[in-house]
Amino acid sequence: MEDLYGILGLTNRATPNEIKSAYRRLARRFHPDVSQSPDAQARFVKINEAYQILSDPQRRWMYEQGMYADSERTFYASRQAEVVAKQRHFDRIIDEWMARDRQEADQRAHAVLIVVPLFLSTFYVMAVKTTIIAKVNFVGRVTIIALAIYGLVYLIKNISIVLARYTYHIPPRMTSVFGEQEAQPDKPISRTAALCFLICGYVVSLGLGYVVSKLLPGYAASFPASTLVGAFLYPPIAVLMVGGIRRIANIIDRL
């Protein structure tokens, strides 16, 4: 019988958690729906077989004692249905992992495409001293303001989604007055810290843009008031445009 530990890249001292982690890593890598390797199907089958044995304490003990191969030959016919059922179970687990990974990647992309355009557009407006709103007519100004308001609503809505997804709320101290044990947050950052990051990032983008505007050649020394207005109007529009492009790309992917 093949070295099952070697198939998973482990030694015979591996813990159950190490076996599970190695299986998940290799199953994702060699799943036939993901891997382009010509031997992916065969490798995936071996990985599943190794995990089926090593994840079961009794089967693992029999394998290490050299008795598993004889046992499998003896009971092969009666256990064929069990093997098929477990194969389907593992396939379903892998599909769920892959779907969860795709969802998490999409959620991270959503957060990045909200925050990065906000900061970059603010920096750009300040750096180049954008004065578009001062140069267009009344209809143009109304259009820009309307887009900015719609973009601001879109920005606030999506920031709320990102905050709910990645931040936890610290309850007031009085909520623990009865001595109840509070659950540990399973999210990476508090909501207060995230809001501070957004506010500070916006202010830093304003400041850096202003500093760069002083260093760029060909620009007047004065700082137009329309640029300061634009620093509040244009970033929400930029976020809205990026969100629209992303939505169009998602629609095209589904076609």
Neighbouring residues of 134: CB distance < 8 A, sequence distance ≥ 6: 224, 226
135-151 tens-digit pLDDT: 899 999 999 999 999 99
pLDDT at 150: 96
Residue 218 has phi, psi (to 5 degrees) of 90, 5
User: What DSSP character marks residue 190?
Assistant: E
pLDDT digits (tens, 9 = 90+) for 1-21: 578 888 888 888 889 889 888
Q: How many CA atoms lie within 13 A of 69 on its CB side?
A: 7
Q: Which residue has the tokens 């992916």?
A: 40
d(CA 104, CA 11): 32
**pLDDT attached to residue 227:** 87
Could you give the CA distance from residue 145 to residue 150 in angstroms, rounded to a whole number?
A: 9
**CB atoms < 10 A from the CB of 38, how many?**
7
Is the predicted pLDDT of residue 176 greater than 90, yes or no?
Answer: no
**For residue 168, what is the DSSP state?**
E
- Residue 180 scores a pLDDT above 60: no
| pTM for this model (two decimals) | 0.62
- Average pLDDT over the chain reads 81
DSSP codes, 83-131: HHHHHHHHHHHHHHHHHHHHHHHHHHHHHHHHHHHHHHHHHHHHHHT--
| pLDDT higher at 26 or 217 | 26
Model confidence at 218, in pLDDT bands (50, 70, 90)?
low
The band of 171, judged by pLDDT with boundaries at 50, 70 and 90, is low
- The torsion angles phi and psi of 111, rounded to 5 degrees, stand at -65, -45
The C-alpha atoms of residue 219 and residue 238 are separated, in whole angstroms, by 23
Domain ranges in the chain?
4-96, 104-170+182-254
pLDDT at 182: 44
**d(Cα 112, Cα 129) in Å, to the nearest integer?**
25
Unique residue bearing structure tokens 């007055």 = 177
> Looking at residues 76-83, what average pLDDT do you find?
52
Q: At 184, is the secondary structure helix, strand, or coil?
A: coil
**Ramachandran assignment for 238, one of left (phi > 0), alpha (psi -120 to 50 degrees), beta (any other):** alpha
Q: Domain 4-96 is classified in which CATH homologous superfamily?
A: DnaJ domain (1.10.287.110)
Task: Give the residue with greater pLDDT, 67 vs 237.
Answer: 237
- Alpha helices (H) along the chain: 4-7, 16-30, 40-54, 57-64, 68-128, 132-135, 138-166, 191-215, 225-254
Q: pLDDT confidence of 134, banded at 50, 70, 90?
A: confident
Query: Is the pLDDT at 170 greater than 70, yes or no?
Result: no
Nearest to 158 by CA among 95, 118, 114: 114
Give residue 85's pLDDT.
64
pLDDT band for position 119 (50/70/90)? very high
Q: Which residue has the higher pLDDT, 238 or 25?
A: 238
